[in-house]
Copies of this chain bind each other. A is one copy, B any other.
Amino acid sequence: MAQPDTVPHLSTALSGPLRDLERRLLDATADIERWFRLKWQQHTPPFYTSCDLRNSGFKLAPVDTNLFPGGFNNLSEACLPLAVQAAQAAIERVRADAQNLLLIAESHTRNKWYLENVLVLATILRQTGVQVRIGTISPEIGAPTELETASGRHIIVEPLSRAGGRIRAGDFEPCLILLNNDLSSGIPDILRDLEQPLRPALHAGWAVRRKSRHFAAYDEIAADFARVLQIDPWLVNPYHAQCGEIDFRTRAGEECLASNVATLLVKIRQKYAEYGIKETPYVAVKADAGTYGMGVMMVKDAAEMRDLNRKQRIKMAVVKEGLEVTQVILQEGVHSFERVDDAVAEPVVYAIDRQVVGGFYRVHTQRGPDENLNAPGMHFVPLAFERPCTLPDPQAQCDAPPNRFYAYGVVARLAALAASLEIERTAPGRAA
């Protein structure tokens, strides 16, 4: 895979205890796996997800679930066979006789690392035995265009054309379309009402999707899971809250935000007291729609919401591709207590279909444990997990890498299951 030389030879970013929770997960492996098996019979897994986790020692929780994951180039080579096997299942779930798959990439064609991700993802998909071509909805690309990836390899990106209910790229007519474009800038007409199956569904894109709906579904999943394990669901689930419409430029809704932050901080403080946790609670304020770590603030005091300066307000007002922020989600901050070479690390876990296929640590040397590591322009060192998250080792200590990775895989699958509920419930034709 890409950039093997830049990856430090550390296989985990272990530090915190998290022992009670991990021990509970490891002891309940059989119950957990059976629970997932039955859940996946009731719900269709997302084609793929990546999940940002936070491990605070006392708590392990998802903070973001991406339904159009980039970063496949950051997975270790050992993860590839698993990814291919899982992608086979994902493709077969849509069309068992699939031959031609069109992968629609993001339009930012100047990000060579993103192009590297597209190359690796296309390779994984090809290895399942389908023909893969890469399409774009970028108006700047009017003809098949060769682009160089970060590793110096090349991909060809092609414009799309539509005839009736079907799209194609040149003479390539796909029987299955996979979006790796999160539709932040809206749903383009060329993708609406297609006869060809398209995954993830259009309403899973950020034009429609809301983090608050995801975490509402996650509340249910976490509660159900916690009942089976007989644990406090808070250990795997951050508190969250919402306001109505916000306008950061005119400061409309600011007071509502501040009071909700205050309420959330009180709830977190109570939990910290219950568990004897000494850390300072904080709340992440995030755009309810959108990604790329833009439009995110970390707040330790409700008063901070009233004192936003012009620069902060502009930063919060717009996320990727100029999407205006009018709704936010307030999320309990989960401290990251994992470290790699004294830098703060955050695990990112990848799943395809029902399977966890690998992950890596996002590492940031200039940031603290309560800061957002997925910041625009940040420099992170992708630290590939040496193994996929699938194999607990019952003989080893519970903070041994395979076991910690198993715990990560469990929580990432809870998030994928929540995404499955979320997508079902927001499908057009269903009451929201």
Interface residues of A (CB under 8 A from B): 29-34, 36-38, 41, 78, 80-82, 84-86, 88-89, 92, 96-99, 126-131, 355, 387-388, 390-392, 394
Which one, B30, B85, B127, B387, contacts A129 given CB within 8 A? B30
A99, B388: Cβ atoms closer than 8 Å: no
A33, B97: Cβ atoms closer than 8 Å: no
User: Nearest chain B CB to A357's CB is how many angstroms away?
Assistant: 9
Which one, B78, B86, B131, B394, contacts A126 given CB within 8 A? B394
User: Nearest chain B CB to A392's CB is how many angstroms away?
Assistant: 7
B30, A80: Cβ atoms closer than 8 Å: no
What residues of B have a CB within 8 angstroms of the CB of A89 in the complex?
A: 89
User: Nearest chain B CB to A134's CB is how many angstroms away?
Assistant: 15
- Per the bound structure, the CA–CA distance linking A66 and B322 in Å amounts to 60
- Per the bound structure, the CA–CA distance linking A31 and B34 in Å amounts to 35
B99, A34: Cβ atoms closer than 8 Å: yes
Which one, B31, B36, B82, B127, contacts A392 given CB within 8 A? B127
What residues of B have a CB within 8 angstroms of the CB of A130 in the complex?
A: 30, 33-34
Taking CB as reference atom, which chain B residue is nearest A131? B30
B129, A32: Cβ atoms closer than 8 Å: yes
Taking CB as reference atom, which chain B residue is nearest A28? B129
A99, B30: Cβ atoms closer than 8 Å: yes
B29, A129: Cβ atoms closer than 8 Å: yes
A37, B96: Cβ atoms closer than 8 Å: yes
What residues of B have a CB within 8 angstroms of the CB of A36 in the complex?
A: 129
User: Nearest chain B CB to A69's CB is how many angstroms away?
Assistant: 19
Which one, B84, B96, B98, contacts A391 given CB within 8 A? B84
- CB-CB nearest 3 A-B residue pairs: A33-B129, A81-B388, A81-B390
Taking CB as reference atom, which chain B residue is nearest A83? B391
User: Nearest chain B CB to A322's CB is how many angstroms away?
Assistant: 39
A34, B129: Cβ atoms closer than 8 Å: yes
- Per the bound structure, the CA–CA distance linking A391 and B127 in Å amounts to 6
What residues of B have a CB within 8 angstroms of the CB of A33 in the complex?
A: 88, 128-130
Known: A96-B38, A126-B394. A387 touches B81 (CB 8 A): yes
- Per the bound structure, the CA–CA distance linking A394 and B132 in Å amounts to 13
What residues of B have a CB within 8 angstroms of the CB of A85 in the complex?
A: 82, 85-86, 355, 390
Which one, B82, B96, B98, contacts A41 given CB within 8 A? B96
- Per the bound structure, the CA–CA distance linking A127 and B405 in Å amounts to 13
Given contacts A30-B126, A41-B96, A85-B85, 5 further A-B contacts (CB under 8 A): A34-B98, A37-B88, A81-B387, A84-B391, A126-B394
Known: A32-B129, A129-B32, A355-B85. A37 touches B390 (CB 8 A): no
- Per the bound structure, the CA–CA distance linking A96 and B40 in Å amounts to 10
What residues of B have a CB within 8 angstroms of the CB of A129 in the complex?
A: 29-34, 36-37
- Per the bound structure, the CA–CA distance linking A33 and B37 in Å amounts to 26
User: Nearest chain B CB to A198's CB is how many angstroms away?
Assistant: 20
User: Nearest chain B CB to A348's CB is how many angstroms away?
Assistant: 18
B97, A34: Cβ atoms closer than 8 Å: yes
- Per the bound structure, the CA–CA distance linking A39 and B41 in Å amounts to 23
What residues of B have a CB within 8 angstroms of the CB of A390 in the complex?
A: 81, 84-85, 127
User: Nearest chain B CB to A42's CB is how many angstroms away?
Assistant: 11
Which one, B38, B84, B98, B126, contacts A97 given CB within 8 A? B38
B80, A78: Cβ atoms closer than 8 Å: no
User: Nearest chain B CB to A74's CB is how many angstroms away?
Assistant: 18
What residues of B have a CB within 8 angstroms of the CB of A99 in the complex?
A: 30, 34
What residues of B have a CB within 8 angstroms of the CB of A355 in the complex?
A: 85
